[in-house]
């Protein structure tokens, strides 16, 4: 399948899925005091970032990138051309020259900032990817703009998660205090907090590389071309489902904001696929000991599902699906299926056609 993909709508198969056993995870809508307490803590954490000196904040992002394995260079402020940090990702599969811009915003980042960064990327012959990091959040139009482009958006909630994941807990020490002891934070400006998405972490053993993909569906039909999230389309138009990097303890990671999925969407399908474009002989045989781990949010226990190994006869494998019930809750079903025809066959099964460029 060409990585410059063109997708169109087709039919509606896959009637056997309902027989799969329902287990593992239910994503509950939660307005409890505990959840409000987590949100209050997240607000305080983001206020601490907003209150940082601009240079100090850029240095923090640069240190985070270095902790993620990149070679990092802070740019000179007088001639940065809108770029705050440059990094070289040495990963042989996802690597490249990355330009990063940081925004200590309290309000939603305007789409113009995203478009400007994309213009900077196109004008920079050395850069292969651009990343915009903010302490606040991005609107749907920004997510829609970066669809299919080499631009990644990291909102405040995800930045906090990455900083903690890579050991920068001291940055948020003041936010750990009780509300009475952290009263000085109340004087900081209000901040728009992005919803904390669930993380779907996919693990497997061995040296083989596999792609993870997600299909946002109504029943057994994908919503549209742009609602297939995979290596060549890193996000849905509204940003509710996105591929992300930076979690080195996982082979692949999807961020899913279940509450932000469109109201008429009732299914999210997760697929793993061999990279047969770059490795024509690759199969799912190396997909050994796979496990899908769902981290639903801060303070909540992770849910783990151990899956079946891949087979030599397949080049893609459906791992399972999340279904929304009548009350709005999401439940996971490990509905395993193999596809000898790879990701192409898998997406055609959900109503999309893949046309080689």
Assign 214 to helix, strand or coil. Answer: strand
Angstrom distance (rounded) from CA 228 to CA 273: 13
The mean pLDDT value for 10-38 works out to 41
Which residues, in sequence order, are CB contacts of 40 under 8 Å at separation 6+? 179
pLDDT band with cut points at 50, 70 and 90 for residue 316: very high
Is the CATH number 2.60.60.30 carried by domain 6-30+196-355?
A: yes
Confidence band (pLDDT; 50, 70, 90) for 15?
very low
The CATH number of the structural domain formed by 33-187 is 3.40.1350.10
Verdict on whether the full-model pTM lies above 0.75: no
pLDDT for 334: 83
Residue 330 CB neighbours (<10 A): 23
**Encoding tokens for residue 212?**
């993870």
* Least confident residue range of 188-192, 236-240, 270-274: 188-192
Q: Is the pLDDT of residue 18 over 60?
A: no
> E-strand spans in the chain?
6-9, 26-27, 71-74, 85-89, 96-103, 129-134, 151-154, 198-205, 210-218, 221-222, 228-229, 241-244, 252-256, 267-274, 288-295, 303-306, 316-324, 330-333, 337-339, 352-355
pLDDT, tens digit, 9 for 90 and up, residues 175-221: 665 444 444 545 555 676 666 678 888 888 877 889 899 999 999 99
Domain boundaries, the chain: 6-30+196-355, 33-187
């Amino acid at each position: 399948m060409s990585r410059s993909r063109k997708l169109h709508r087709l039919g509606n198969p896959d009637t056997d899925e309902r027989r799969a056993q329902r287990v593992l995870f239910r994503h509950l809508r939660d307005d409890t005091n505990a959840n409000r307490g987590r949100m209050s803590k997240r607000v305080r954490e983001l206020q601490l970032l907003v209150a940082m000196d601009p240079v100090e904040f850029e240095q923090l992002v640069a240190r985070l990138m270095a902790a993620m394995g990149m070679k990092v260079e802070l740019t000179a402020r007088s001639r940065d051309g809108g770029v705050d940090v440059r990094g070289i990702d040495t990963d042989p599969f996802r690597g490249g020259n990355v330009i990063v811009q940081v925004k200590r915003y309290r309000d939603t980042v305007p789409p113009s900032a995203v478009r400007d960064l994309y213009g900077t990327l196109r004008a920079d012959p050395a850069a292969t990817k651009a990343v915009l990091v903010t302490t606040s959040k991005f609107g749907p139009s920004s997510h829609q703009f970066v669809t299919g482009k080499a631009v990644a958006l990291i909102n405040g909630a995800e930045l906090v998660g990455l900083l903690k994941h890579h050991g920068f807990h001291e940055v948020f020490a003041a936010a750990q205090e009780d509300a009475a002891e952290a009263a000085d934070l109340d004087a900081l400006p209000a901040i728009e907090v992005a919803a904390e998405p669930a993380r779907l972490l996919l693990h497997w053993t061995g040296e083989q590389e596999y792609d993870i993909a997600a299909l946002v569906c109504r029943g057994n039909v994908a919503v549209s071309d742009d609602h297939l999230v995979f290596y060549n389309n890193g996000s849905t138009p509204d940003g509710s489902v996105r591929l992300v990097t930076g979690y080195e303890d996982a082979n692949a990671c999807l961020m899913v904001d279940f509450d932000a999925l469109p109201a008429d969407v009732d299914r999210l399908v997760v697929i793993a696929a061999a990279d047969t474009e770059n490795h024509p002989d690759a199969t799912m045989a190396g997909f050994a000991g796979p496990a899908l781990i769902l981290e639903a949010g801060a303070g909540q226990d992770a849910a783990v599902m151990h899956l079946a190994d891949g087979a030599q006869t397949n080049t893609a494998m459906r791992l399972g699906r999340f279904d929304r019930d009548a009350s709005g809750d999401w439940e996971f079903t490990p509905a395993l299926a193999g596809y000898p025809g790879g990701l192409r066959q898998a997406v055609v099964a959900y109503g999309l056609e893949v046309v080689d460029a």
